[in-house]
Amino acid sequence: MKIRWIEIEGLRAYKNRVHLEFGNFTTLTGKNDAGKSTVFAALRMFLDSHKPDPGDYSVGGIDEIRVCLCFTSLPERVVIDSTVETTLEEEFLLDSSGGLTVEKRWQKGKTQPTVYAKSLQPIKDESKPLVAAKNGELKRIAKDEGVLDRVSDKRVNKQIRRAIWDKWTANHEATDEEEFVALDAEDGKQIATSLERYYPMFELFEADRQGTDSDQIAQDPAKLAVKAVLGRRTDQLAKLSQEIREEISDLLGRVVSKLAEIDPGLADSLSPIETEPNWEKAFSAVQFVDDVGVALNKHGSGTRRLVLLSFFHADIDRIDTVDSEKYDRGVVIAVEEPETALHPDLQREAIEVFREISEFDGRQVVITTHSSNLVRDLPIESVRYLEVGKNRERLWVAGDEKKPAVLLRKLSQSMGIFSHTSVSQFLYVEGKNDIESLRYLTDGIAAVYPDTIADIRKLEAAGGLCFIPMGGCGAAELWENRLNPIRAKGWYLLDSDKDGPNAKLKPAAKKYLDWSKNSRSSSDFVHLLDRRELENYLTETAVVQAYADLGNFLNWFKYFQNGDEWNYLDIPRTCAKASLSCRNGTDCTTSLSERAIKREEKDAKVLLSRVFSHESVVHNLMDGTGNDLSVALRQIFR
């Protein structure tokens, strides 16, 4: 499962109901004490069964905390009562959008929440929803409706509900208005409990504010490893737990029977209580220690964060090698202020790791940050800004297509993004690899053709040039809105993404070109590459040099190129397939997953960026007549 959105009411500063949309990667930003961490607290309460403190209830609120989550990527089959498989759709537990929307409510003074599902349950004559009815009541209703004889196994609630619903539907006797249905009333309690094992696992990493051992996962990622492994074995552990409980119950039952022979009165007063085993507690002693036996949680927060970062690196590698693994539950990773205690270079690496994790099936990452540098490098659609209104109400502003300018203005006002007035020009490119490619390319040009173009590394260091990785030409308009208040020249170097000389431009590129003609400043310069992307201006010699350690690389490269024209070939992907096939000794497309190839493609882009300084690339670019990239670079960096 994945979270589509969350709504919070009555929790701390969220006195009134507040809505927040989630993506695969979501960044929460805003001023201090606005309520970013409250989102994590709400997720922890819902997904990790964390109980609220008395001080968590909003002052002057409704004396009740409500956390509502809407889930997508739902399991195909579920077991919600007894052991019979069904679907959420068959049980009418989905909302009008096809999602699973569940709300938990914690009343002040009570330890357990009540659980509701916002669904389209068929209701007849204002009766209560069938999903909350016990077996006996279901049989009574079925008998009254004249359908009980149609049920083959009257012990199975699913069959009885289906017979009643089918009759109501056929005769148009029921309404299906969307409303919250209690899942903790009578048999509904079992349904609420059963749904818990399908919710995403929640992994929270705080900013180490407390400095105690209480938040064990934040103190030692070994605890996260335990939680992750156990989470992948939920079904097996549930089955094992049930078998153990049955054996224990049988043994205890025999003990009571023997006791009845000795003291019947005492035996009548005794009954065994079943408990759910805590598997995490069973492995609570697992931890990292250094070579002198000092536990990781006794080291500084920077060290712990480095180990945490390494854990996620290892997890990515593990996922790549276990292609058959499925995450039916999903995992939500929440990281508070990833910039804390890390060098700026490691901050950027951490963000890249989290973004990569979010691209895997069943994974979502949510971070909070106060760093304008981190926000500046993130896709604008992933950013959510928390605004505090005049009456202290909270409102999340997202970077969607309808109101990007609103978010960008608030980010600029709040975080001072791009307020540095020494920047005289911005260079918009598709992504961070294009930035590195241009740096290496201009290094190579400077070595062979001195004084031809400006030294962009010096321009950057002096603050006169700022690269903007847009994440695709479709985001160019958003960045233009963000930088509009700053009077600096803008240069746009964008991929055409064409797969042939006569291919039409993709909608995003065409849309931007149309927009730029009408809205862009006349002082700006826009260039859409003639070739597919920047890597198509490399030479074959340079590409082979990037993979010099792989002896048979060129043969595999030509095999996957399959005669396609160089200018429109997807070079990073072709390199990825060739390198994987070299290492495996066989065509990787027959043995490896698409996910593994995609990951190798990212590595290929990094390797290729470093050979843009190759002499063959420089000569081909600067000596060639009519080379569009050469013309563009001379104009940008003259």
Around 609, how many Cα atoms within 13 Å sit in the side-chain half-sphere? 15
Instruction: Examine the pLDDT at 540 and tell me if it is beyond 80.
Output: yes
Structure tokens at 348: 């950027």
Confidence of residue 488 (pLDDT cuts 50, 70, 90): low
Residue at which a domain ends, from 257, 286, 315: 286
pLDDT score for 462: 75
Check if the beta carbon of residue 604 is closer than 8 Å to that of residue 582.
Answer: no
282 and 419 together in one domain: no
Distance CA 446, CA 201 (A): 52
Of the two residues 492 and 588, the one the predictor is more confident about is: 588
Predicted confidence (pLDDT) per residue in 57-89, tens digit: 998 888 999 999 999 999 888 887 766 788 999
> Would the pLDDT of 522 be above 60?
no
In a domain, 295, yes or no: no
**Which residues, in sequence order, are CB contacts of 300 under 8 Å at separation 6+?**
341
Q: How many domains does the chain have?
A: 2
Domain annotation covers residue 347 = no
Residue 307 is assigned to a structural domain of this protein: no
Q: Is residue 605 part of a domain?
A: yes
What average pLDDT does the chain have? 81
- The angle at the Cα of 368, spanning 366 to 370, to the nearest 5 degrees, equals 155
Higher pLDDT, 600 or 245: 600
Q: Considering only 107-121, 178-192, 289-303, which range has the smallest mean pLDDT? A: 289-303
Position 416 scores a pLDDT of 60
Residue 323 confidence class, pLDDT cut points 50, 70, 90: very low
Cβ atoms of 566 and 538 within 8 Å: the answer is no
Between these two residues, 518 and 327, which has the higher pLDDT value? 518
Structural domain that includes position 547: 414-636
Give the pLDDT of residue 272: 66
What gap in Å lies between CA 628 and CA 521, rounded to an integer? 22
The helix/strand/coil state of 8 is: strand
| Residue 293 falls inside a structural domain | no
> Is 502 domain-assigned?
yes
pLDDT of residue 249: 80
Residue 288 or residue 233, greater confidence: 233
Most confident range (mean pLDDT) of 104-108, 118-122, 485-489 is 104-108
- Res 480: pLDDT: 54
Return the pLDDT at 339: 82
233: in domain: yes
**Cβ neighbours, 10 Å, residue 625:** 5
What pLDDT, on the 0 to 100 scale, is given for residue 214? 43
Write out the DSSP string of 40-54.
HHHHHHHHH-PPPPG
pLDDT attached to residue 420: 45
Q: Tell me the pLDDT band of 506, cut-offs 50, 70 and 90.
A: confident
Tell me which amino acid residue 178 is.
Answer: E
- How far is residue 628's CA from residue 430's CA, in Å, rounded to a whole number? 17
* pLDDT tens profile 200-257: 988 888 765 444 444 444 445 666 667 777 777 777 887 888 888 888 888 887 887 8
618: exposed, middle or buried (C-beta count within 10 Å: 0-12, 13-18, 19+)? buried
Q: Are 472 and 608 in the same domain?
A: yes
Q: Tell me the residue type at 238.
A: A
Would residue 625 count as lying in a domain? Answer: yes
User: Which whole number is the average pLDDT over 494-513?
Assistant: 80
3-state SS assignment for residue 484: coil
- Helix, strand, or coil (residue 623): helix
Lowest mean pLDDT among 198-207, 212-221, 337-346, 544-553: 212-221
Average pLDDT over residues 418-434: 72
Backbone torsions φ then ψ of 112, nearest 5 degrees: -110, 145
Give the model confidence (pLDDT) of 396-412 as tens digits: 888 655 555 677 677 76
> How many beta carbons lie within 10 A of that of residue 413, not counting itself?
12
Listing DSSP states for 433-458 in one string gives: HHHHHHHHHHHHHHHHSTTSS--HHH
pLDDT band at 474 (very low <50, low <70, confident <90, very high): very low
State residue 326's pLDDT score. Answer: 45
Query: Quick one: average pLDDT of 85-112?
Result: 92
State residue 465's pLDDT score: 81
Is there a contact between 194 and 81 (Cβ–Cβ < 8 Å)?
yes
Helix axes 476-483, 404-415, angle to 10 degrees: 40
Lowest mean pLDDT among 344-358, 369-383, 477-491: 477-491
Which of the listed ranges 1-10, 176-185, 499-508, 515-524 does the model predict with the highest average pLDDT? 1-10
Helices 432-448 & 594-609 angle (0-180, nearest 10): 30
DSSP-assigned beta bridge partners for residue 336: 368
Residue 187 has pLDDT above 70, yes or no: no
| pLDDT value for 285 | 66
| pLDDT of 626 | 54
